């Protein structure tokens, strides 16, 4: 019988849905700005469906980064997404 491998499950901060870690986008907040995870610091995950819903996503990002500058966060996230793909 084939051995089943364990997949790491993480939760999206916006919709609270759980998914495999390799299917989610991993980002970190550093001084009220978004960055791609570089190995240091606390991170959070976003799913593909939430990346399309800007209203829900902007609230989750402001809450996670403790920032009131929605436009700055959303612009940085769009930059990260285009660089990542």
Where do the domains of the chain lie? Answer: 9-84
pLDDT tens figures, 40-85: 888 999 999 998 888 888 889 888 888 778 888 888 888 888 886 5
Residue whose entry in the numeric block shows the structure tokens 């403790």: 66
Q: Mean pLDDT, to the nearest integer, of 20-48?
A: 89
How does strand 9-11 pair with strand 18-20? antiparallel
Q: Is the pTM of this model over 0.85?
A: no
Q: pLDDT band at 19, cuts 50/70/90?
A: very high
Secondary element (H or E) of residue 55: helix 54-65
**CB 19 within 8 Å of CB 8:** no
Q: Mean pLDDT, to the nearest integer, of 27-49?
A: 89
Indicate the length of the chain as a whole number: 85
């Amino acid at each position: 019988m084939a051995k089943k491998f364990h997949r790491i499950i993480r939760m999206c901060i916006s919709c609270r849905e759980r998914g495999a870690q390799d299917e989610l986008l991993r980002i970190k907040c550093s001084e009220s700005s978004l960055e791609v995870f570089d190995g240091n610091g606390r991170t959070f995950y976003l799913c593909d469906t939430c990346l399309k819903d800007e209203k829900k996503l902007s609230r989750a990002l402001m809450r996670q980064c403790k920032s009131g500058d929605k436009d700055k966060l959303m612009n940085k996230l769009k930059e990260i997404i285009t660089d990542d793909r």
